[in-house]
Structure 1
Amino acid sequence: MTITKFAALAAATALASTAAHAQDQEDRTGWPESFTVGTASQGGTFFVYGSGWANLVAEELGLSGSGEVTGGPMQNMSLVHSGEVQFGLTTMGPAAESYAGTNPVAPGLQMTNACAIFPMYQTPFSVTALSSTGIETIADIPEGARIGFGPAGSTSDTYFPLMLEELGVEFERRNGGWDDLGGQLQDGLLDVIAFAAGVPIPTVSQLEVQTDINIIEFTEEEQAAIIDAFPVSGFEIAPATYTTLEEPARSVAMWNFAIANCELPESFVYAVTDVVMSDNERMVGIHSSARETLPENWDKNTSLMWHPGAARWFTENAGAEIPADMIHGG
């Protein structure tokens, strides 16, 4: 290669590099230097999952990011809508209520500035009791049982009491973080915990290491009654989920989605979505429930407007056909 040709090639390479660098800089216009993900209480799947993907995104994009303990899906909708946190985790039921203005965190406020960015996993509803109580079925739950439903305003606290009432259970309602409720169950201060969280639930996994528990499934009739009355679908908790289970446990479930403040830059949310959705193995390493964090599950969003950055990612990479009227600002 002549010196002239070499110089020309070097100049072209430098120009391309400069252009690429400039493009990177342009793409990051308006990006925050740090971000927070609203999760739920410690001991629950939301906290593990949300904190894990916050760390993954922060590392990949060279930002500072972390998960924050919150009251769960209802509060996350409020926090993301208002911009107090950039990202959050929610469930389709609470999302629909928040858009309609019936979120108990701020009744009457339509929280439409929280947008969908990617599918997470299904949240099964499950019931756990100590084996020593003799509670093996829903029908075994005694009248006036003290039942822990998780943090106030969480998916579990919003829907599980109504579900159990639908099945004729009479109970005393208790709230708290999952770790705290697990301790109360062990100490005999609670009779039952009604969980709504991605499986395996860390608190349940810890309980079965420390004591004998029963994971209580719904009968076919109970499952059908709940599906008929609430925005859930049938689900089976696989026996490999917990050492306590020897066969699938019949349940119901509701989809979860990650959300972002709708005003975040499109390029930023596109990049965040790309990090999470492009390598499922890394997400499964954070929590096994992320096996459902797959591009093809984009269509499980039935309640939320899409963030433009996320909608573009799924359109370009997953063949998604998202109507313009389902994209924020579209």
Structure 2
Amino acid sequence: MEKQILFAGVLLLSLLLAGCLPANGTQEIPSPALQKQSSSKDKNALIIATGDMSGVYFSLGQAMADMYEKYNGAASATQITSASIQNARLTSQKKVELGFASVDVLDRETQKPEDADSRTKLRALTGLYANYVHIVTTEKSGIRSLKDLSGKRISLGSNESGTKLIAERTLLSAGLTKNDIHKYFFSFSQSADALRNGTIDAAFFSSGLPNPEIATLAAQLPITLIPIPKEIVDRLHEQYGFYMERDIPRETYGMKRNIETLAVKNVLLTYRDLPKQEAYELVDTLYTHLPELQQIHPAARDIKLTDAKTGIPLDFHPGAVKYFTEHEIIH
């Protein structure tokens, strides 16, 4: 019951504040303890770039901010963003101390010529849980497969989000070009609202399980999750290397069967110049108090120390390396 209350509380906060994001795409949300501070510009300030308020990045980011406030004495806050792409840029520019990102976005951003110095400025603290691709539509839409998306109104996720990147890649692998659909770039909450009122026919969500907006939508009206066949996942894995074949369990959203889809790992980013001891302590606090994160959102159950270094296309911060070495995490 306690877990349900905590999760519901995060969802309620998302619904209450969904319309509050400024035009620049960011909004800073202090932890409860930070609201008592006179200023967030303290030398121990810690800002975590998250994502849409209805997404898992935000839920876990808020929980991390509270943990770092409690155990590390850091004046912590989260910053609402459009997610992975913006988070990587904010972190590399040292405008935030930590940021969530999916590894496919991280790889693309650090390979782009215009962001050539991002790889030298960014460091990984730890691998996290996986994002699962959800293609959500209403049951009455009649959409049952990727091919059925042709000619439809589709939300591909926010600009500068990992959802947009993975949605575009999935559609291309299924043989659908940008001219085959009517594209919208909505946040998770906007996509859910647009599905409710019929503005769009389907929407992509790349998120940990469960996604609060999809869970709420499924409780309000009959929805369908479109499967992503194994051959599409295999094609994407062969081309990019980061994508994994996964199933969304049927009980996640009250479906009749498991939904085959693809998933991609997330990583917690920081910048190169963060002091080694501070980075070490951040990783130590995360894993020491991981059960607290798992109480906030079930996706955190997939964060495992043994997998912390697996599949991350970026150098780890020396402070993180020290922690993993002490715990004999080699690969």
**TM-score using structure 1 length:** 0.82
Q: Identify which of 128, 139, 148 aligns with 2:136.
A: 128
SS of 2:144's partner is coil
SS of 2:118's partner is coil
Q: Identify which of 239, 261, 282 aligns with 1:229.
A: 239
The residue aligned with 2:203 is 193
- The answer to whether the 8 Å contact 1:128/1:215 transfers is yes
Partners of 1:115 and 1:62 in 2: CA distance: 23
Q: Between Structure 1 and Structure 2, how many residues are aligned? A: 286
The residue aligned with 1:262 is 272
Partners of 1:38 and 1:199 in 2: CA distance: 20
The residue aligned with 1:13 is none
Describe the superposition over 1:8-27 as per-residue Cα deviations: whole angstroms up to 9, x where unpaired: xxxxxxxxxxxxxxxxxxxx
Letter aligned with residue 64 of structure 2:
W
SS of 1:53's partner is helix
Return the offset for 1:108: 4.9
The residue aligned with 2:86 is 75
Aligned CA-pair RMSD: 1.8
Partners of 2:257 and 2:151 in 1: CA distance: 30
Specify every segment of 5 or more residues in structure 2 that has no aligned partner in the other structure, as ranges: 1-41
SS of 1:200's partner is coil
The residue aligned with 2:43 is 32
Return the offset for 1:280: 2.8
1:12-23 to structure 2, matched below 5 A, reads: none
The residue aligned with 2:310 is 300
Describe the superposition over 1:103-159 as per-residue Cα deviations: whole angstroms up to 9, x where unpaired: xxx555534212111121011112000111111222322x32111111102111112
C-alpha change, 1:275 and 1:262, in structure 2 (3 Å) is same
Partners of 1:109 and 1:192 in 2: CA distance: 37
C-alpha change, 1:282 and 1:180, in structure 2 (3 Å) is same
- The answer to whether the 8 Å contact 1:88/1:258 transfers is yes
Letter aligned with residue 136 of structure 1:
R
Letter aligned with residue 216 of structure 2:
Q
The residue aligned with 1:285 is 295
Letter aligned with residue 174 of structure 2:
L
- The answer to whether the 8 Å contact 2:92/2:118 transfers is no
1:203-242 to structure 2, matched below 5 A, reads: 203-230=213-240, 231-242=242-253
Q: Identify which of 166, 173, 184 aligns with 2:173.
A: 166
C-alpha change, 1:261 and 1:109, in structure 2 (3 Å) is closer
| Higher Cα Rg, which structure | 1
**TM-score using structure 2 length:** 0.81
The residue aligned with 1:4 is none
Letter aligned with residue 62 of structure 2:
S
Partners of 2:211 and 2:311 in 1: CA distance: 23
Specify every segment of 5 or more residues in structure 1 that has no aligned partner in the other structure, as ranges: 1-30, 323-330
